[in-house]
Amino acid sequence: MHVELAGRRAVVTGSSQGIGLAIARGLAQAGAAVTVTGRTRSRVEEAADGLREQVPGADVTAVAADLATEEGADTLCEAVPQTDILINNLGIFQARPALEIEDAEWRGYFETNVLSAVRLSRRYLPGMIARGWGRVQNIASDSAVATPVEMIHYGMSKTSLLAVSRGFAKAAAGSGVTVNSVLAGPTHTGGVEDFVHQLVGWSLPWEEAQREFMRLHRPQSLLQRLIEPEEIAHMVVYLSSPQASATTGAAVRVDGGYIDAIVP
């Protein structure tokens, strides 16, 4: 399938590394002008320079802002007043015993993983609706419907994103704008490598640690391996395309068969 996004602009939050960077690369390869974001200017600019090298001729803008705050959302929207594609990828995660999670952490996860997406959707959706075309995707997780005991605050935030996606899809109904969530399974990034070792120990070589993590903590996975960021990006690029115009209000799974449940 050939996806053509020339003439479209995309904003990808949390895109200086990992899944977000892979998504930004995929969208740029499809011809979209891409804005990469992150909190640290040097890392965002480094990511943008890397994309320009990897995708010759790519139109890449770098914006440094803390999108977990209203001020950060304002900074981004001042730099990029409108977009055709919004990928709310920004998120944090960490293993934490359930009874030790304090109020400040609960609030922090909600601000970063949920309200960052709400604020940007609220700002960018009206323009998409007025133009009659747009794509919003919220990067959720299998943890949204199979809450992991080791990080229920993270699971709560991703469950909330499903409701946010469905609700904004209803607000955009009939407009030509689609809003979806992508449920990503455990994905191979630097941060996840640390998370895996945190759970299974630091003495195991990476390949063995990955297998042990899947065996102990994600036994329902049909892949029995971590998903690569590019595999998430392929789905996101498709959902950003004209070919996905009939898919909205959906929770689309890229989870390796981990979820044994019906997602509304």
Beta bridge partners of 9: 33
Candidate list 124, 154, 238, 258, residue with the active-site label: 154
- Starting at the edge strand that comes first in sequence, how are the strands of the sheet with 134-141 ordered? 60-64, 33-38, 9-12, 85-88, 134-141, 177-184, 251-254
Ranges of H-type helices in the chain: 18-29, 41-54, 70-79, 103-110, 116-131, 152-171, 190-200, 206-217, 229-239
Q: Is 28 helix (H, G, I), strand (E, B) or coil?
A: helix
Please report, as a single letter, which amino acid is at residue 167: G
Backbone φ and ψ for 45, nearest 5 degrees, come out as: -65, -35
Among this protein's residues, is 154 annotated catalytic? yes
Report the alpha-carbon distance of residue 23 to residue 218 in Å, rounded: 24
Indicate which residues carry an active-site annotation: 154
